[in-house]
A and B are shown apart, each in its own frame.
Chain A
């Protein structure tokens, strides 16, 4: 197994074997467990295959949670905008009609 891939928000790790061109789920000792993708030629495609698998896992996990009556809390975090005020003001001066005169 050449490349280990972690799938966030799942309990699993995955490995890409370039010789077999396949991605496997792994046991704790990085031994291949189950093949999840085939004909994987490069690391980027391997990561994409893992993310697609993980999305399916998370979706099934959420459905399973709903069926069992578990609650699902959610918070959508607003992005913060931090600015360098002097820089913003300087840009305004440079693009405005007023120009500094020497």
Chain B
């Protein structure tokens, strides 16, 4: 399992009204491991160096739910399968961000053990998240 990495700015952003996790369009960005986000410094999409997405299908996420029970809020998203129609640039991290808020604030990121360098036309990448505990809980 790829460990969760928190973007520090997110802790403040939720109190600044930057996120409506129930309705905003959440999206995955991708970087190489060499350009992985710095949790303490990076806050918006413009702070990270994304790969060239040419040949990749949509990285938009379908949000299942954002709600709370007994004071525990959970963000659940549907698994995402990204398809390639060409040779894809190397990547090693996936970064969750809010694609609705104008500044594209970052939320969290996960990394592979090493960069994927062999994704070619016909290949797929599945981003698999827990359908009970979601990608994130806040309590």
Q: Which residues of A contact B (CB under 8 A)?
A: 6, 8-9, 58, 65, 68, 70-84, 87-88
Contact = CB atoms under 8 A, between A and B. Distances in A.
Contact of B2 (A9, A75, A82, A87): A75
B54 interface: no
Q: Which 3 A-B pairs have the closest CB atoms?
A: A80-B4, A70-B122, A79-B133
14 contacts: A9-B78, A9-B81, A65-B122, A71-B119, A71-B120, A75-B126, A76-B128, A77-B1, A77-B127, A79-B133, A82-B6, A82-B136, A83-B138, A84-B139
Interface string B106-131: 00101010001011101111111110
Interface of B: prevailing SS? strand
Contacts of B135: 77, 79-80
Interface of B: 1-4, 6, 11, 62, 78-81, 94, 108, 110, 112, 116, 118-120, 122-130, 133-139
Given A74-B125, A81-B137, 4 more contacts: A9-B79, A71-B119, A72-B124, A78-B4
A43 B129 CA distance: 26
Contacts of A8: 62, 78-80
B126 A71 contact: no
A70 B124 contact: yes
